[in-house]
């Protein structure tokens, strides 16, 4: 971790770095595996070509550059393309007031990335959600289990090959007999003795 004098130097308006400067420094530090930055709508993205080193890159970004907050970790299903999975790390540094995006890709055959939960504790649940919804594993995660679906559920609902109407499962019928609104939202689910596909939420007024 940076020393107190180094931290104070960073916080000084005269020495505070811009997002582009930080991105270029990160690229230089990992020359050969980090490309970019690419700018879109005022935000910068760096791509890490070696997915096995993403945790190392993230550790440097936090410890040496002050990116102390993992805003989000999202995943993309590049269905029918290779590599299939892209993980996107949205990071922010309160010392510089800068946002940066890191992304890396991994094949469907591998479907595994190193965890960054040791870098940012918030990654714990982000990675569990990515595992639950996409099936991407995170090596070294302290508690990699499903966070939304139940254990034993055989599918990954945010994959592009997962049908919009869902898939049949062994879940028991919901304990109600009348149509039950989902907290006033635009969808409704209807009780029935059919399988879970028939009980998937539908538009409340599909004709309107």
**Structural domain boundaries in the chain:** 4-139, 163-208
How far is the CA of 26 from the CAs of 87, 96, 151, in angstroms? 18, 15, 39
What is the pLDDT, as a whole number, of residue 153? 81
Q: Which two structure tokens, joined as six digits, stand for 194?
A: 């059919």
Higher pLDDT, 158 or 4: 158
Mean pLDDT of 130-157: 90
What pairing do the DSSP bridges indicate for beta strands 112-114 and 137-139? parallel
CA distances to 71, 113, 122, 124, 157 from 143, in Å: 20, 15, 13, 8, 20
* CATH of the structural domain 4-139, one choice from 2.30.30.30, 1.10.1370.30, 3.30.460.80, 3.50.50.60: 3.30.460.80
More confident residue, 207 or 163: 163
Q: Which of 23-32, 45-54, 134-143, 197-206 has the lowest mean pLDDT?
A: 197-206
Rounded average pLDDT over 134-145: 94
């Amino acid at each position: 971790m940076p020393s107190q004098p180094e931290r104070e130097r960073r916080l000084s308006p005269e020495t505070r770095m811009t997002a582009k400067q930080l991105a270029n420094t990160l690229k230089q530090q990992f020359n050969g595996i980090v490309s970019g930055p690419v700018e879109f709508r005022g935000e910068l993205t760096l791509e890490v070509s070696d997915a096995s080193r993403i945790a190392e890159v993230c550790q440097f970004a936090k410890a040496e550059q002050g990116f102390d907050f993992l805003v989000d970790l999202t995943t993309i299903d590049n269905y029918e393309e290779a590599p299939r999975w892209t993980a996107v790390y949205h990071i922010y540094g309160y010392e510089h007031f800068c946002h940066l995006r890191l992304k890396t890709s991994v094949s469907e055959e591998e479907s595994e990335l190193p965890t960054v939960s040791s870098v940012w504790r918030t990654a714990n649940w982000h990675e569990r959600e990515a595992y639950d919804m996409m099936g991407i594993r995170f090596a070294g995660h302290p508690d990699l289990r499903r966070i939304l679906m139940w254990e034993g559920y055989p599918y990954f609902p945010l994959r592009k090959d997962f049908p919009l109407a869902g898939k049949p499962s062994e879940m028991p019928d919901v304990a109600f007999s009348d149509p039950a609104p989902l907290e006033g939202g635009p969808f409704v689910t209807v009780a029935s003795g059919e399988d879970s596909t028939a009980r998937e939420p539908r538009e409340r007024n599909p004709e309107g």
